[in-house]
Amino acid sequence: MSSQETHKIQENNTSEATTTASLPRLGMAAPLFEAVTTHGKIRLDDFRGGWVVLFSHPADFTPVCTTEFLAFAAIAPELRKRNVELLGLSIDSTSSHIAWVRNIKDKFGIDIPFPIIADSNKDVATLYGMVSPGESKTETSRCVFVIDPNGIVRAMIYYPLTTGRNTDEIIRLIDALQTTDKHAVATPANWKPGDKVIVPPPATMEDVEARLKAGFECTDWYFCKKAI
């Protein structure tokens, strides 16, 4: 194999690696970016001090994405009550985003209140690993990243192109994370506000004895719930 051919393979491998950058890690700092949106230029740091739900969609003017945007618009007021900002993204242009938002308003009577990032060069999509080549090399998957007030990635959800997201679950997830932070507890399967929470497991024999005397609802020494 010639040196020219070897160099070409290395270039292709580098390009593929760039397109399919690894995902951010839970508990690590969210990758910073600056981007143009339907609400003007933004920086992720602009939202420090509040929560962010950054989500991507495959393409403008597609039916499943339209249903999702209608659903995200519906939960936007509830998210604001929780100090959460929504940021949408696809690799379409700003002009396409604006035209689509206007079309949604015209056809469905719904205003889209949150910014939509125009990521034609896939800069943000690459930072967050939003393109899944197994599904599409030209569209972003249905990704959701929850970023806390300190800029830390707290949750990630990925859906295939064919499946619209459940926005009620996103609100439930935010409620669970904020409850965990406020009360230093965990939340069980299918938890929702008002349900009992999980008391963290004890780490010492002394902790075991203390929790058994604390009046928690214990099934066993390692499994206790309490109301908050």
pLDDT digits (tens, 9 = 90+) for 21-71: 567 899 999 999 999 999 999 999 999 999 999 999 999 999 999 999 999
SS3 4: helix
pLDDT of residue 137: 59
What confidence category does residue 15 fall into, taking pLDDT thresholds of 50, 70 and 90? very low
Residue 228 CA to residue 225 CA, distance in Å, equals: 10
- Ordered structural domains, the chain, with CATH: 23-164 (3.40.30.10), 184-228 (3.30.1020.10)
Q: Which of 65, 143, 218, 224 is catalytic?
A: 65
What confidence category does residue 208 fall into, taking pLDDT thresholds of 50, 70 and 90? confident
Give yes or no: 224 in active site.
no
Q: 42: exposed, middle or buried (C-beta count within 10 Å: 0-12, 13-18, 19+)?
A: middle
Residue 197 CA to residue 185 CA, distance in Å, equals: 7
- In the chain, the percentage of residues whose pLDDT exceeds 70 is 88
Length of the chain: 228
pLDDT one-digit tens code per residue, 166-178: 999 999 999 999 9
What confidence category does residue 72 fall into, taking pLDDT thresholds of 50, 70 and 90? very high
DSSP H/E element including 158: strand 153-159
Q: How far, CA to CA in Å, does 86 sit from each of 17, 76, 77, 81, 171?
A: 28, 7, 10, 12, 12
